[in-house]
Amino acid sequence: MKLTGREKTELFLEGVVTVILLLLLNLSIIVLINETLSTNPGLQDGIFIIKRSIVIGPNHYQIWSWENIFIAAMFVFDAAVVYWRLIRRYHQIELRHIINELHYIANGHLDHRIDFHLSGNTQTVVESINALVDSVIESIEEERAIEHSKDELITNVSHDLRTPLTSILGYLGLIQDKQYHSEEDLLKYTEIAYLKSKQMKSLVDNLFEYTKVQQTGTQLSYNRIDVDQMLEQLVASFELEANKHDLVVTADDNDSQLFIEADAEKLGRVFNNLIANAIKYGVGGKHIYLKATKKNDEEAVIEVINDGPKIPKESLNQIFERFYRVEGSRNKDTGGAGLGLAIAQSIVQLHGGYIDVTSDDEFTTFAIHIPITRNDQITNPQSHQLISKQGEKK
Ligand code: ADP
């Protein structure tokens, strides 16, 4: 810490005043003692006898000059008092510096930190203040990010609701004004209005699901799940829909039985979203494979693989963001709002796992890594988990 000229003068004056006061005190003590001794010859004799009887060391040195000892003791005492007063004043100055810095930060200079180094505990105080300011800034930024993300959510939802709603109102308006030429037209308009209403309902459902799984403290109701059986059920329930799109869904038979502890309903939602996507976006492909493997004693990996068009590399690390849709998907009549993968990811994370995606010219694979037993946690070994492993063979 750098002292200002004024503070140096303050310290100097403190020293001078203390020395003067101590000298006066010493002088008055000496005068008082002399006065007492001169008026009291008995006391003088007593001190003389004591002095003669005190011998120091093997050579029997005697103390003849008690005044010197007394003066030396007084000097040591004075030096200690001066030191103590100066240190006390210095600490006051340090404190004043810290308070000034705090005022400066409190006045809105939140990027400012106390950068001087002090001794002992005061330095700990400085470090704690800096850490406190850091954590305040962090929470302000988090708050801002949450606020921003809420605004974004509202904007996206309003946009995605307004588009089909405008269509519905338009077609219903045509019907109400009898602006149709045939019954065929009428049926076409009502069908479009119906489809758009379904699209709106699906968005509202997804949104409801998304906010539900995003809430802190979302509870899972765990069941013991036979993974092979679950995959067979999924194949059965998606068979018809997949066939309509010329796709065949198959589940890989696992030699050893694989059981996991998970929320069956929520996990079902994850696979519904992934398989529905594989059908929706796997245009031109022929297969959807469901595959389950046990990675080690703690982790099960369940994959949804399809051989449709490749997801562009630049989209892979954004694909799980809410409302994100790969360029072009929004315009296609696939009806999604970009929430399906965000919901799937949140559910898997609630279970302590993670999802990753890889996509190349041959296959697109969504792999769910999930702990086999509840309360376990799996960490993604790759920090950049969503990078495509181009050209990897399945
Ligand atoms: P939505 O389906 O509502 O658009 P999702 O979050 O489920 O939202 O998917 C986000 C985007 O990821 C989709 O718009 C689509 O472009 C892409 N996508 C998801 N799954 C696949 C897949 N199996 N193959 C190709 N693209 C996919």
Q: Is 338 in the pocket of ligand 1 (CB under 6 A)?
A: yes
- β-pairing, 287-294 vs 248-251, is parallel
**Structural domains in the chain, sorted by start:** 5-112 (no CATH), 151-214 (1.10.287.130), 222-387 (3.30.565.10)
Taking a C-beta distance cutoff of 8 angstroms, is the pair 288, 358 a contact?
no
Name the residue among 332, 340, 353, 248 with its Cα closest to residue 290.
248
> Taking the complete model, does pTM exceed 0.95, yes or no?
no
Residue 277 Cα to ligand 1 midpoint, Å, equals 6
The whole-number pLDDT of residue 60 equals 67
The whole-number pLDDT of residue 390 equals 35
Q: Is 302 in the pocket of ligand 1 (CB under 6 A)?
A: no
The whole-number pLDDT of residue 30 equals 87
Which ligand 1 atom sits nearest the alpha carbon of residue 309?
25
The whole-number pLDDT of residue 335 equals 62
CA-closest residue to ligand 1 atom 13: 325
CA-closest residue to ligand 1 atom 24: 281
Which ligand 1 atom sits nearest the alpha carbon of residue 338?
8
Measured distance CA(322)–CA(336) in Å, rounded: 11
Helices (H), ranges, the chain: 5-38, 41-53, 66-106, 120-176, 183-214, 227-244, 264-281, 313-316, 340-350
Name the residue among 193, 185, 186, 188 with its Cα closest to residue 169.
193
The whole-number pLDDT of residue 132 equals 92
Residue 273 Cα to ligand 1 midpoint, Å, equals 9
Name the residue among 300, 273, 139 with its Cα closest to residue 210.
273
Measured distance CA(273)–CA(167) in Å, rounded: 26
Residue type, 349: Q
Q: How many residues does this entry show for the chain?
A: 394
CA-closest residue to ligand 1 atom 8: 338
Q: What is the mean pLDDT of each run of 10 residues along the chain (394 residues)?
A: 89 95 93 87 81 73 68 92 94 91 90 84 88 92 90 86 92 93 92 93 90 86 94 95 95 82 95 95 94 90 95 92 76 70 94 95 96 85 47 37
Residue 321 Cα to ligand 1 midpoint, Å, equals 11
Residue 236 Cα to ligand 1 midpoint, Å, equals 22
> For a pocket test of ligand 1, which of 202, 203, 281 has the largest count of ligand atoms closer than 8 A to its C-beta?
281
Q: Is 308 in the pocket of ligand 1 (CB under 6 A)?
A: yes
Residue type, 320: F
The whole-number pLDDT of residue 306 equals 96
Q: Is 329 in the pocket of ligand 1 (CB under 6 A)?
A: yes
Q: Using the 8-state DSSP alphabet, how is residue 55 labeled?
A: E
Q: Is 388 in the pocket of ligand 1 (CB under 6 A)?
A: no
Positive/negative CA dihedral, 248, 277, 387, 227: negative
Q: What are phi and psi of 209, to 5 degrees?
A: -65, -45
Measured distance CA(244)–CA(373) in Å, rounded: 37
